[in-house]
Structure 1
Amino acid sequence: MQVTDFLKKHYKHFNAASLIDAAEGYKAHLENGGKMLITLAGAMSTAELGIILAEMIRQDKVHAISCTGANLEEDIFNLVAHDFYERVPHYRELSAADEEALLERHLNRVTDTCIPEEEAMRRLEHVVLKYWQKADQAGESYFPHEFFYQMLLSGDLEQYYQIDPKNSWMLEAAKKNLPIICPGWEDSTLGNIYAGHVISGDIKNVHTMKSGIEYMMFLADYYTQTASEESTIGFFQIGGGIAGDFPICVVPMLHQDLQRTGVPLWGYFAQISDSTTSYGSYSGAVPNEKITWGKLGKDTPKFVIESDATIVAPLIFAIVLDM
């Protein structure tokens, strides 16, 4: 039995039914000529969502991505250092002393998975630093994802690959030059490393790396040029936080601050979140609240699946891919 057939047979009610509805809505949006932006919060790359997300990118089911700096870099960490990762299935039982022992071995824990500092972070730093310095010396500036695209497409990392490269969503995105928005990139391992190199003088101009404001300007141009009444852009949000909150604001900015009133609202909205609906919480806000902010309309298809994205997202993508 195919995954889609199994899900449609058994997922009939509650969050399970919402999963089917969101997936069918995603497919309908694309079939009607729409585009889709996916947002990645949390540690989806370390959860190896790239295995199926890369296929979504290959089959043109994703047209833009907004993600945290962690998801941007951790897909590449996994690409070049997978064999050195350690899984800790009993992570709920770890004591402070156990955590300190992992630190001493230079293993940085993300729930049940430890990322090896030397093989992942330092290996990537040594390579990407060349691109940062080259741009700095030439007086050029690029977005964080553009530096990664340059590095991935150059082949400089191929000698280190430890997974099938077709399972790296960043590599597939680089091949298609997929638009990526990475707000708050500074809040990432390589963001901290970049700041360190500026402080030490290895990079002379901090603006060699483009900023979050420039990302919003980039997104505003992309949205204006891409969205139309015949081809609206959908918003598929995985988790909460800045990866989702930042890009969804582009529509009210275009309407209210730039008076581009002909630009349509987001044409579809779905969120996978285990955040409980709460007062004052962006991540826990229901979709209808976004109507008052000029982000969604009353007729925008809206879906919320209150569950673990590492379980739900691959299933929705499987339906979209007709698996």
Structure 2
Amino acid sequence: MNVTNFLKHHYRHFNAAALIDAAEGYNKHLAEGGKMMITLAGAMSTAEMGIQLAELIRQDKVQIISCTGANLEEDIFNLVAHDFYERVPNYRDLTAADEQALLERHMNRVTDTCIPEEEAMRRLEHSVLKFWEKADKAGERYFPHEFFYQILKSGELEQYYQIDPKDSWMLAAAEKNLPIICPGWEDSTLGNIFAGHVISGDIKNVHTVRTGIEYMIYLADWYTNQATEESKVGFFQIGGGIAGDFPICVVPMLHQDLQRTSVPLWGYFCQISDSTTSYGSYSGAVPNEKITWGKLGQDTPKFIIESDATIVAPLVFAMVLGQ
């Protein structure tokens, strides 16, 4: 029994049934000529979501990605330093002294996984700084993901690859020159590093890396050109936060601020989340709330799976990939 058949046989109710409905809705949306945006919050790259996401990219089952700066860089951290990562299965039992010991070894913990500073962060900094400086001296400006595409396409990191390259979603995206939106990139390790190099004077122009408002302009142009009544854009949101909240607003912005009323609403919506609405959390809001903001319509297929994205997303993707 393959994954899809197993899920359809056993996942019949509640969140399990919502997973099936969402996956089948994803496939229906694509089959009808639609496009899909996937948004990545949290630490999905460190959770190695790239194993499935890279294949979705290769099979043209995702046309654009929105992600945090952390997810952008952490896929490449994993690509070049995987063998130096350490898993801490008993992370709930760690004492403050245990955490201090990890710090002294330069092991940055993300739940049960420690990212090695020297082999991951500093290794990538060494490469990206050369590209930042080159652009800075030439008076050129690029988005964060474009700098990463330049590095990956240059091949200079290949000597450090420690996973099968086909499991890196950033490599798959670079090969297709996939559009990426990375709002709030400043809130990332390399965003902090870039700020440090500006402060120290290595980078003269802080605008060498293009950022948030320009990403919204970029997305507005992309959406206007790509979304039609015959080929609507769907929205598959993993987690909450800025990775999802930022790009979904492009539609009401186009309608209300630019009067591009012929541009269709998002054509499909699914969110995997365990956020609690009663705390005032937009990330936990039911999809219908988005109708009031002009993001989704009454008839937009809407799904919410209230569960752990690291468990749920690979299963949805397996169904979309026909596995």
Q: Structure 2 counterpart of 1:21, which letter? A: D
Q: Which residue of 1 aligns with 2:142?
A: 142
Distance 2:279 2:270 in 1: 20
Choose 274-283 or 19-28, whichever is displaced more: 274-283
Q: Which residue of 2 aligns with 1:274?
A: 274
Distance 1:279 1:77 in 2: 34
Distance 2:290 2:279 in 1: 14
Q: Which residue of 2 aligns with 1:251?
A: 251
Q: Secondary structure at the match of 2:284?
A: coil
Are positions 1:151 and 2:146 aligned together?
A: no
Deviations 1:144-183 (A, max 9, x none): 0000000001001000000000000000000000000000
Q: Which residue of 2 aligns with 1:96?
A: 96
Q: Which residue of 2 aligns with 1:241?
A: 241
Count of equivalent residues: 323
Q: Secondary structure at the match of 1:60?
A: coil
TM-score, normalised on structure 2? 1.00
Q: Structure 2 counterpart of 1:163, which letter? A: I
Q: Structure 2 counterpart of 1:106, which letter? A: H
Distance 2:290 2:280 in 1: 13
Q: Which residue of 2 aligns with 1:11?
A: 11
Q: Secondary structure at the match of 2:207?
A: helix
Q: Which residue of 1 aligns with 2:71?
A: 71
Q: Secondary structure at the match of 2:114?
A: strand
Q: Which residue of 1 aligns with 2:38?
A: 38
How far 1:274 sits from its partner (Å)? 1.0
Q: Which residue of 1 aligns with 2:198?
A: 198
How far 1:280 sits from its partner (Å)? 2.6
Q: Which residue of 2 aligns with 1:220?
A: 220
Find runs of 4+ consecutive structure 1 residues off by over 4 angstroms: none
Distance 2:97 2:274 in 1: 30
How far 1:276 sits from its partner (Å)? 1.9
Choose 277-286 or 1-10, whichever is displaced more: 277-286
**Identity across the alignment (%):** 84
Deviations 1:122-141 (A, max 9, x none): 00000010000000000000
How far 1:278 sits from its partner (Å)? 2.1
Q: Secondary structure at the match of 1:178?
A: coil
Distance 2:223 2:96 in 1: 47
Distance 1:311 1:274 in 2: 12
Q: Structure 2 counterpart of 1:314, which letter? A: P
Q: Secondary structure at the match of 1:39?
A: strand
Distance 1:279 1:90 in 2: 29
Q: Secondary structure at the match of 2:65?
A: strand
Distance 1:87 1:280 in 2: 34
Q: Structure 2 counterpart of 1:309, which letter? A: A
How far 1:300 sits from its partner (Å)? 0.2
Q: Structure 1 counterpart of 2:289, which letter? A: E
- Unmatched 5+ residue regions in structure 2? none
TM-score, normalised on structure 1? 1.00
Q: Structure 1 counterpart of 2:115, which letter? A: I
How far 1:279 sits from its partner (Å)? 4.9
Deviations 1:86-107 (A, max 9, x none): 0000001001111010000000
Deviations 1:43-67 (A, max 9, x none): 0000000001000100000100000
Distance 2:171 2:13 in 1: 37
Distance 1:174 1:150 in 2: 8
Q: Secondary structure at the match of 1:266?
A: coil
Superposed CA RMSD in Å reads 0.5
